[in-house]
A and B are shown apart, each in its own frame.
Chain A
Amino acid sequence: MIANWYIAEIIMEITVANDVRNVVHHNFFLISANSPDEAYEKAIKIGKESESDYHNPQDKPVETRFIGIADLDVIQDNLADGAEVLFHYAVGVSPEQVRSLARSKEQLRAFLPPKRAEGPDCASSEIVDLVEKQFGIARPSKAN
């Protein structure tokens, strides 16, 4: 049976001028394709199209570059409520480690308040300005 949906892990590297620290994003994309090869090509295209160049609010150039595909997997379930899209497995995990994998509800990302990322400022000054101009909302301070 030909799977129609795939999940691609796309690696992007972001660099900010004059900052030695890079930022690496693992981005997971849903891809609809009739074959793994087609899905792979689509993933490459998504990665390339995700590249960008702009300036951050400190007017430093920010570059986002596509590094490659970390993984491409088939989604076995039909995409619907409750569908499983990704799984990992491990063998020989200690009880302590197993327990540490589960987090409380409040620690889950969906329940976390917005938070600015650590490291180089990868925001776009154009976007920050746009939000302020059109929505009247200033960029929150880093201690948000």
Chain B
Amino acid sequence: MLSSGGAYTDLIYASGSLIAEVGGTQNAVPTYRITDNLGSLGSVNYSPYGQIFSGSTSDPFGFTGLQSDPTTALYHATFRQYSIQQGRWQSPDPYAGSYNWADPQSLNRYAYVNGRAMAFTDPSGKDACAVAGAVGPEVGAFALIPLAGCIAELLGGGALMDALFGDIFGTKFHGSLKPRPNRGPMSETLGMPTGWQPNGNLASGIQGALGLPSGGCEFGVCGGIPGESFGPGLVLAGGGSLLCQIAEPCGVIEDTVLVIGTLATVGTVAWEMSKGGKQNVGHDWVRAMARSLGGDYCSALKAIMQKARRDNDGVLFNAAKQTYKQDCRGYGN
């Protein structure tokens, strides 16, 4: 970045967020940014929409990392400009995948993060991104946890989840959910369905139970149905419900958001995804999983076979294959 004084400053980004600056030369000591959960400069108190309550700064990246333009008083996102005075974008959202008829607020193409400015940011200007670690009234219906980029980590106790998401978040699938899944109440909406509650203690709760490493390259939103608890292996046991939404780092690539929940929930969402009308999930294995989740016994067997093969588990593979032949392909001669 070239400052007004003619000096260069290197900006260091990690996970889509500006984390440090190095002024002058490359050998200079980086200055790390202390930010709040929205990525806004911590030394300044901003309103949710970017107006300064108290404090001051000359830092052009003060509000959620968006670069301000002192001439126009606008903030630059990758695809459009945001006005903190108006609390809205100056041009409509260029991304058609960011709206949903079931979510009227999303039809306002000028709205900033769909009116949920305490829990979401939008570095790209295309769509709202959930903020890791956000807490407060705006996120009262859900909790946010950072994941380690590998959804397989989240699977922990459930082979289903392992089967479903381990592959999805492998290199084959990463970021290929475009356009984003439908923002139905149980799918892609950044938040929990009505009545869902956050897990109270992320460190020892969801995150701890599932063995999630702290920090990482993905962000997830997890929560559960009231009255149900999480624990090792309890994600699906006894009909336990967990919903997670996984997003790539804000501002880098479009979000990838998926749902983990009860079998019915997962099945419904995956099935909707598989039909391809609302989404474009170009992954045959996900389609197969969706079919199996929709109640297809034989597709479930095939999914187990595929997982066993991926895991190089010959014993399980042979047993699953034999079972598949026995129960699904019994045509004889």
> Which residue on chain B has the smallest CB distance to residue A112?
B331
- Contacting B319 at CB < 8 Å: which of A25, A52, A116, A140? A52
* Interface of B, helix, strand, loop or mixed by DSSP: helix
Taken together as a complex, chains A and B put the C-alpha atoms of A107 and B226 apart, in Å, by: 51
Taken together as a complex, chains A and B put the C-alpha atoms of A116 and B292 apart, in Å, by: 17
Interface 9-mer from B50-58, B129-137, B320-328 = B320-328
B298 CB-CB contact with A under 8 Å: yes
The answer to whether A131 touches B330 (Cβ under 8 A) is: no
Q: How many Å from the CB of A19 to the closest CB on chain B?
A: 13
B159 CB-CB contact with A under 8 Å: yes
The answer to whether A116 touches B300 (Cβ under 8 A) is: no
Taken together as a complex, chains A and B put the C-alpha atoms of A121 and B330 apart, in Å, by: 11
**Please, which residues of chain A bring their CB within 8 A of the CB of B319?**
52, 54, 124, 126-127
A37 CB-CB contact with B under 8 Å: no
Q: How many Å from the CB of B18 to the closest CB on chain A?
A: 42
The answer to whether B329 touches A136 (Cβ under 8 A) is: no
The answer to whether A117 touches B330 (Cβ under 8 A) is: yes
**Please, which residues of chain B bring their CB within 8 A of the CB of A3?**
none
Q: How many Å from the CB of B234 to the closest CB on chain A?
A: 13
The answer to whether B325 touches A25 (Cβ under 8 A) is: yes
B229 CB-CB contact with A under 8 Å: no
**Please, which residues of chain B bring their CB within 8 A of the CB of A49?**
314, 318
Interface string of A88-124 (1 = CB under 8 A from B): 0000000000000000000001001011111001111
> Which residue on chain A has the smallest CB distance to residue B327?
A116
Interface string of B285-299 (1 = CB under 8 A from A): 000000011011110
A34 CB-CB contact with B under 8 Å: no
* Chain B contact residue count (CB 8 A cutoff): 32
The answer to whether B322 touches A139 (Cβ under 8 A) is: no
* Chain A contact residue count (CB 8 A cutoff): 32
A64 CB-CB contact with B under 8 Å: yes
Interface string of B236-264 (1 = CB under 8 A from A): 10000000000000000000000000010
- Contacting A137 at CB < 8 Å: which of B295, B320, B323? B295
**Please, which residues of chain A bring their CB within 8 A of the CB of B331?**
109, 112, 115, 117
A135 CB-CB contact with B under 8 Å: yes
> Which residue on chain A has the smallest CB distance to residue B264?
A136
**Please, which residues of chain A bring their CB within 8 A of the CB of B160?**
134-135
- Contacting A114 at CB < 8 Å: which of B236, B292, B328? B328
| Known contacts A49-B314, A64-B318, A126-B319: A140-B300 contact under CB 8 Å | no
Chain B residues within CB distance 8 Å of chain A: 158-160, 163, 236, 263, 292-293, 295-298, 300-301, 303-304, 314-316, 318-320, 322-323, 325-332
Given contacts A112-B331, A117-B327, A127-B320, 13 further A-B contacts (CB under 8 A): A50-B318, A52-B318, A109-B329, A115-B330, A116-B327, A117-B331, A123-B326, A126-B316, A127-B316, A134-B300, A135-B160, A135-B263, A135-B303
